[in-house]
Chains A and B, each alone.
Chain A
Amino acid sequence: EIVLTQSPGTLSLSPGERATLSCRASQSVSSSYLAWYQQKPGQAPRLLIYGASSRATGIPDRFSGSGSGADFTLTISRLEPEDFAVYYCQQYGSSPWTFGQGTKVEIK
């Protein structure tokens, strides 16, 4: 089973700042099969990024994903008020498909 470790656990930033979230896998994720999701309180997760760097439909271009192998990054170039939420990475290269424990982006 591939274990995903996200860091930091919490990121305290102000609107307009840049957010950099990390997702590290315990082994290489095949074909960069890595996705990112955003979840707000009381809501279902929303797909942001798949294939490590492809934005899902309707996702603003301030969200970008990068990385390969075992190290991946989600970057939010300029935080908007609606971006404060919890973010999860997920690998789908090998079963069981696993999620990271999440990074909370909170308002500083």
Chain B
Amino acid sequence: EVQLLESGGGLVQPGGSLRLSCAASGFTFSNYAMSWVRQAPEKGLEWVSAISGSGGSTYYADSVKGRFTISRDNSKNTLYLQLNTLRADDTAVYYCAKSPLYYDTLTGYHASYYFDYWGQGTLVTVSS
């Protein structure tokens, strides 16, 4: 059974930093791209960042580029998100999410960046 368990959220002052973690189990973690998706209170979903299975490719939304860093430790089956220079509008529940693979007959397996499994989320509150 796929399980994703986020941790590391909390209350932080504007300009502060936080590191989120997502512990994965139930699948071969290194084979799959992973993402962070956030949801501000009473708002919709916003994709934040993604990382390939190997960790060699990373992607960011413009709203967090230069402030957030995604990484993974495949030996620990753990995904991370380092949040720096936090602002009030970063306040949200942060979900980690797994992306499935698709197979191309010419080029092999690739990540497909929709999200088939989600964690329960961790709340980050940025406030003084």
A-side residues, CB < 8 A to B, are: 1, 33, 35, 37, 39, 43-47, 50, 56, 88, 90, 92, 95-102
Does B47 make an interface contact (CB < 8 A)?
yes
A interface footprint on B94-120 (CB within 8 Å = 1, 0 otherwise):
010000100000000000111111111
Pick 7 A–B contacts, CB within 8 A, sort by A.
A37-B115, A47-B115, A50-B114, A50-B116, A90-B45, A92-B112, A102-B45
A interface majority secondary structure: loop
B interface residues, how many (CB within 8 angstroms): 21
Residue picked from A47, A50, A90, A97, most chain B C-beta under 10 Å: A97
In the assembled complex, how far is the CB of residue A11 from the closest CB belonging to chain B, in whole angstroms?
16
**CB-CB nearest in chain A for B95:** A44
| 8 Å CB contact of A56 from B46, B61, B116, B120 | B116
